[in-house]
């Protein structure tokens, strides 16, 4: 898998340069609002210009705290285009958890919604609201320092005086926080090169101009790496749900006719348990592939899903925030029948199983530690 030889390349410019014939980039499943690719890239340019005017530049961190939105990728792509660093916080996190992340990542600006701005009331951060109305409601972040709205930024003509700073592929583009399963959550530094390599891995595995539904939180690498970056480069249409809600998801599939769906195991289990009612109420015939990640999927659940949704194949994948979400994934029908497997190593990923005490490579069937090498592996924490 080849990477661009130009070392002075940011991931936003790389994504925007990728050829495809896609027309609609994002659809809001709730409101029906659509963003075409031309509107998306104009929005990115305008928001980047406004951020530059606010003093955001190379190396600065910008935090986004928001449910899924068709505007989420505009924020992240704009920030990264400046050589600044995007960090995402889960909107269900407590004010204390968000305060800890702010203390660790030291952002200079925050993007959030009126409903969530109160979680920033003690931070003294300047805030850009992602709602159409820039005024926070009474009691909703009355102490927050509101400096503008995203919609206003998207309507502001770019400044001709903006000076583009040189961004290197090895510069940090995103600071995404790990799940903290073995300790305190840490900020994982992903470079422009990491994310460019991720886009190339998607391009090697998926076709152009397809359609999918996003219900996994964009603050998580599984969703950020796909819906907010890579699939844009492939010209996909992404139908966005603010959060997982089964009826909304199924309605979105019926209305927008996606071929692909990305889920985590609990969502798949819910579809298995409700299959009889779901199949009687919704037309899911457009679905061809469900990609599952985030946790292992049992043989029993997989077989029941395929039995009840016979036209759909289930592909499991394995990845880490530290590898930009990609390590291994299934691709062929034969792979899907190897239960307990997460498929073959992804393009550009090398791996070996070693004895953690000696570093010696182990043979087939032996249990050890997985060592990985890939251009998607993080810069550090």
Q: How many CA atoms lie within 13 A of 298 on its CB side?
A: 6
CATH tag, 36-187: 3.40.50.980
- 342: closest CA among 282, 290, 296, 284? 296
Place of tokens 């505007």: 71
**In CATH, 192-372 is 3.40.50.2300:** no
Same fold, 36-187 and 192-372: yes
Instruction: Write down the pLDDT at residue 144.
Output: 78
Instruction: Write down the pLDDT at residue 1.
Output: 74
Instruction: Write down the pLDDT at residue 255.
Output: 98
How far apart are the C-alpha atoms of 38 and 16, rounded to whole Å?
10
Per-position b or e across 366-378, b if 16+ CB within 10 A of its CB:
eebeeebebbbbb
How far apart are the C-alpha atoms of 117 and 378, rounded to whole Å?
30
User: Which two structure tokens, joined as six digits, stand for 207?
Assistant: 């076709």
Instruction: Write down the pLDDT at residue 274.
Output: 97
Instruction: Write down the pLDDT at residue 375.
Output: 97
Residues of the chain with pLDDT under 70: 132-143, 181, 333
Q: Residues 123, 96: contact at Cβ < 8 Å?
A: no
Q: Find all residues with CB under 8 Å of 328, minimum gap 6, and list them.
A: 317, 318, 319, 342, 343, 344, 345, 346, 349, 351
Q: Which residue stretches of the chain are H helix?
A: 11-16, 37-53, 72-81, 95-105, 150-154, 192-205, 221-225, 231-233, 246-256, 265-273, 275-281, 299-308, 333-336
Domain spans of the chain?
A: 36-187, 192-372
How far apart are the C-alpha atoms of 174 and 107, rounded to whole Å?
12
Q: Residues 228, 262: contact at Cβ < 8 Å?
A: no
- The per-residue pLDDT for range 166-209, each reduced to its tens digit, is 999 999 999 999 877 677 788 999 999 999 999 999 999 899 99
């Amino acid at each position: 898998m080849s990477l661009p030889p130009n070392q002075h390349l940011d991931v936003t410019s790389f994504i925007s340069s990728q050829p495809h014939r896609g027309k609609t980039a994002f659809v809001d499943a709730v409101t029906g609002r659509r963003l075409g690719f031309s509107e998306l890239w104009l929005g990115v340019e305008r928001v980047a210009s406004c951020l530059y005017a606010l003093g955001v530049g190379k190396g600065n961190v910008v935090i986004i705290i928001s449910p899924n939105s068709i505007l989420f990728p505009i924020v992240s792509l704009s920030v990264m285009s400046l050589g600044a660093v995007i960090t995402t916080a889960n909107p269900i996190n407590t004010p204390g958890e968000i305060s800890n992340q702010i203390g660790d990542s030291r952002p200079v600006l925050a993007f959030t919604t009126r409903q969530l701005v109160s979680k920033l009331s003690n931070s003294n951060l300047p805030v850009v609201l992602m709602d159409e109305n820039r005024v926070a409601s009474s009691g909703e972040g009355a102490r927050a320092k509101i400096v503008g709205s995203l919609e206003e930024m998207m309507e502001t003509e770019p400044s001709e005086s903006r000076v583009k700073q040189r961004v290197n592929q090895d510069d940090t583009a995103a600071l995404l926080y790990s799940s903290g399963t073995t300790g305190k959550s840490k900020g994982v530094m992903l470079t422009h090169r990491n994310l460019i390599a991720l886009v190339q891995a998607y391009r090697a595995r998926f076709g152009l101009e397809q359609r999918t539904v996003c219900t996994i939180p964009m603050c998580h690498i599984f969703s950020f790496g796909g819906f907010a970056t890579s699939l844009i480069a492939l010209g996909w249409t992404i139908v966005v749900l603010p959060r997982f809600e089964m009826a909304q998801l199924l309605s979105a599939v019926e209305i927008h006719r996606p071929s692909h769906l990305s889920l985590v195991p609990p969502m798949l289990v819910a579809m298995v348990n409700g299959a009889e009612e779901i199949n009687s109420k919704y037309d899911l015939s457009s679905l061809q592939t469900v990609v599952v990640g985030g946790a292992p999927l049992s043989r029993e659940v997989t077989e029941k899903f395929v039995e009840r949704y016979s036209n759909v194949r289930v592909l499991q994948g394995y990845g880490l925030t530290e590898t930009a979400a990609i390590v291994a994934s299934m691709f062929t029908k034969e792979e899907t029948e190897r239960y307990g497997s997460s498929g073959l190593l992804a393009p550009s990923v090398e791996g070996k199983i070693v004895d953690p005490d000696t570093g010696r490579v182990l043979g087939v069937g032996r249990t050890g530690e997985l060592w990985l090498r890939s251009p998607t592996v993080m810069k550090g924490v």
